[in-house]
Structure 1
Amino acid sequence: MPNYQRILAAIDLSDEAEAVLERAVAMAASDNAELHLVHVVEPLNLAYGGDIPMDFSSVQEQLQSQAEESLHQYAQRANVAAERCHLLSGRPDAQVHELSENLAADLIIVGSHGRKGLALLLGSTANGVLHGASCDVLAVRVGQDK
């Protein structure tokens, strides 16, 4: 089994993120690795395809602020320093790939729902992270289908 030096845990800030965080903390401790946390806020105009003629800037700012607070709460529970917390905006899979390369991470840990069937093996974000990563990816099963 490889000895990882730098681990990037991508968390979605839901209740299910706890399982991903627990696995990341355990793996970082066992390998004496540096642990980074990342959360990506998807811009509302991407989520809705820009089809709705509304200004989402105040809502987006609220989402960003709430995400920052939540990310730092997860970091405190996991004893991860603030400088190793990364709050990004954009497409989650692309942002996770870019950050993992910038950090020279050798493992990305992401949550995945245990759905049935090949097409639903991983959630769309976990699938995107897996297929574009330049390092190992660990998909932690989360949710009710455990």
Structure 2
Amino acid sequence: MAQYARIFAALDGGSTQEAVARRAVQVAHNSGAELLFGHVIDSVPYEANGIDFAALCEDGKKNLEHDLAAILAEAKEDPNIVSVDLKVHAGRITDTLAESLIEPFEPDLVICGARGLSNLKYAFVGSVSTYLIRNIKCDVLVVKPEHHDSVKL
């Protein structure tokens, strides 16, 4: 198995988020890697409202820290994981994910979830995992929803 020095885990707030986080910790532990968790709050629904995106991102980060508290604590306490960080940005999902979170971190591996969109939803909104596979210049690991319960550290 390839060793990775920098791992980015894309959190989507959905059904695979916990599995993605657990898999990221597992791979970071096995590789002795730096680990960055990232989440993008879709700005499109809020753009006309004049919302405070900084406050929205801070609230989003607090929610993720709460929801993933045990996983984040385990990662931070793991001596094999060099560093652990969590960043939340607002913007158009794929652009912000790639340009503001992934590219500056320069990961060797990106881990994301497959949400299992219906064919109709996929035709209209696309898939973040498909975007990452096609556009990111490093390995991409897609965690499938059906594997959620089988991911163990």
Same fold (TM over 0.5): yes
1:111 equivalent in structure 2 = 113
Change (3 A) 1:64 1:102: closer
Q: How many aligned residue pairs are there?
A: 136
What RMSD in Å do the two structures reach over aligned CA positions? Answer: 3.2
> Which residue, out of 69, 83, 103, partners 2:62?
69
Q: Which residue of 2 aligns with 1:85?
A: 86
Q: Given the two structures, how large is their TM-score scaled by the length of structure 1?
A: 0.74
Which secondary structure state, in structure 1, belongs to the residue aligned with residue 114 of structure 2?
A: strand
Q: Structure 1: 5+ residue runs without aligned partners? A: none
Report if aligned partners of 1:113, 1:143 keep a CA contact under 8 Å in 2. Answer: no
Q: Do residues 135 (structure 1) and 112 (structure 2) align?
A: no
Unaligned residue ranges in structure 2 (runs of 5+): 77-82
**Which deviates further from its counterpart, 132-141 or 76-85?**
76-85
Higher helix proportion, which one? 2
Q: Which has the higher contact order (CA 8 A, sep 6+)?
A: 2
Q: State how far apart, in whole Å, the 1-side matches of 2:45 and 2:49 are.
A: 14
CA distance in 1 between partners of 2:128 and 2:58 (Å) = 22
- What is the CA-CA distance between 1:56 and the residue it aligns to? 5.2
Structure 2: distance between partners of 1:143 and 1:64: 29
DSSP 3-state at the match of 2:95: helix
Q: Percent identity, please.
A: 29
Greater CA drift, 26-35 or 13-22: 13-22
SS of the counterpart of 1:134? coil
Summarize the alignment of residues 1-146 of structure 1 with structure 2, pairs less than 5 Å apart.
1-43=1-43, 46-47=44-45, 55=49, 57=51, 63-73=56-66, 74=68, 77-79=71-73, 80=75, 84-98=85-99, 99-114=101-116, 124-142=127-145
